[in-house]
Amino acid sequence: MAGSSLSLLDAALKAVKLCEAGGAEGEAYLSRTRTVSAAIENDQIVKAKTVWEEGLGLRVSLQGRIGFSYTNRLNMESLRETVRKALKLAKASPPDRQWKGFPPSKACQKTLETYDGRVAEAEVETAVDLASEMLESPLSLDRRVKASEGAVNLTYTKRVLANSPGVEVEDEGTWAGCYLEALAREGSSTTPACFEFNFSRMLKLNVAEVGRKAAELALSALGAGKTEGGRTAVILGQPALLSILSYTLVPALKADNVQRGRSPLKGRIGEKVFSPLLTLVDDGLLEGGLNTSSFDDEGVPSQRTPLIDRGVLIGFLYDHYRASKEEVESTGNAVRPASYASTPVIEPSNLVVKPSSLSPEGLLAETGRGFYVPYVQGAHSSNPESGEFSVVAAPVWLVEKGSLARPVRSIMLAGTVYGLLENLSGLASNVRAFGSLVAPWVSVEEVRVIGG
């Protein structure tokens, strides 16, 4: 990036040495990100831009007293000031008796399909061309369709981490993503926004298909009626499944919540807790995974971590600090939610749900009668300690006689994630990556549905 006087690795090593000169151990995390994007609103491209961002996040340990500071200027003057602030905060902090230092250096595996030079070097015109192609499909398909919102993003990131125990790692990654929200209008009736997406680490987006599918989904949502509630089968699409799991099951699988007694899964390793149809793995090395990297945001090597095997709880997600408390190995799940400007927390990488060989049509046929729910709203209000959720789904499609019969305005789904996953009745083969989830459609029996 123009204006930087130090490379990322130079800045990391110098920051660590400055910490050590101040009598402390240091950990320097640096990132540099370039994103070219094009945004869509109301049937047109409204904005296209290139954004650069880089910075340093610095943690210091002064005899177990932890301080943190960050900067977005990589020159010696800024490094010295950042170290000074971190040391000052450490001196003012109480000692953490459970702190056992920063992670040691370990060999990292090379990742596959996580870098594409075409994405790294893409200009804003590429994003505009892709966004234009994505718009063309819905606008030419049917005059009733409106593209309400969408975007194309092409991102390159370089990460570097160094610490006093000897970690010195760096990697590069790229991401290409697009999404489109479309709605359909007929007379005085307007459908809810229907969402379609495509995300990859490589420049292989099928933007025309995204536009077409979003439009077709919106058209199929026209004429939605009301429906009765009750306990019935529900097929969840990937966005809906991720929304529910992110605020209910995922918190229960994090070691910090387990250690604090805030997880219903505490003390249940080796027990059958869900349907035997469910096998869940967190795979930080998944080929082409959206969150795949050779190391986590503490420099710990990424790995494949079994969590649930045929319904049996196998393990939890750890960062280095929580793993040290139990004298186990970190699973490589330290993530900085605001990049260099934040300290690590525990998050999954690629949560992979093992699919079946059943087609989506086959899953619909097995379901017989119920609802197809592609996405939900309100999952953020779920209770992570009990797993309770209450979400609104709109639009929704009624499943009758094994096929999508007609659209429904909206329904509400309520229950607990533990009841939901105990009643898992089927999985399809249509695996897609969305956020941290890599999963197919799943069907669940006896879901409490409130009609709308």
Q: What per-residue confidence (pLDDT) applies to 389?
A: 97
Average predicted confidence (pLDDT) for the chain:
96
- Which token pair is 240? 């809906």
Do 411 and 371 meet the contact criterion of CB atoms below 8 Å apart? yes
Q: What per-residue confidence (pLDDT) applies to 100?
A: 95
Q: What is the pLDDT of residues 420-451, one digit of tens each?
A: 999 999 999 999 999 999 999 999 999 999 98
- Which token pair is 380? 């953020």
For residues 323 and 420, give the distance between their C-alpha atoms in angstroms, rounded to a whole number. Answer: 29
Residue 261: band (very low, low, confident or very high) from pLDDT cuts 50, 70, 90: very high
Q: What is the pLDDT of residues 81-112, one digit of tens each?
A: 999 999 999 999 999 999 999 999 999 999 99
Overall average pLDDT of the 291-318 stretch = 98
Does pLDDT of 76 surpass 70? yes
Q: What pTM was estimated for this model as a whole? A: 0.94
Q: What per-residue confidence (pLDDT) applies to 451?
A: 85
Q: What is the pLDDT of residues 191-234, one digit of tens each?
A: 999 999 999 999 999 999 999 999 999 999 999 988 888 999 99
Q: What per-residue confidence (pLDDT) applies to 4?
A: 52
Does pLDDT of 296 surpass 50? yes
Does pLDDT of 1 surpass 80? no
In a 13 Å sphere around the CA of 118, the CA atoms on its Cβ side amount to 10
Q: What is the pLDDT of residues 354-400, one digit of tens each?
A: 999 999 999 999 998 999 999 999 999 999 999 999 999 999 999 99
For residues 381 and 395, give the distance between their C-alpha atoms in angstroms, rounded to a whole number. Answer: 20
- What Å distances lie between residue 409 and 145, 209, 357, 374, 448, CA to CA? 18, 25, 31, 13, 17
Overall average pLDDT of the 143-149 stretch = 95
Contacts of 2 (CB under 8 A, 6+ apart): none
Does pLDDT of 2 surpass 60? no
Q: If 0-12 CB within 10 Å is exposed, 13-18 middle and 19+ buried, where does residue 337 land?
A: exposed
Residue 3: band (very low, low, confident or very high) from pLDDT cuts 50, 70, 90: very low
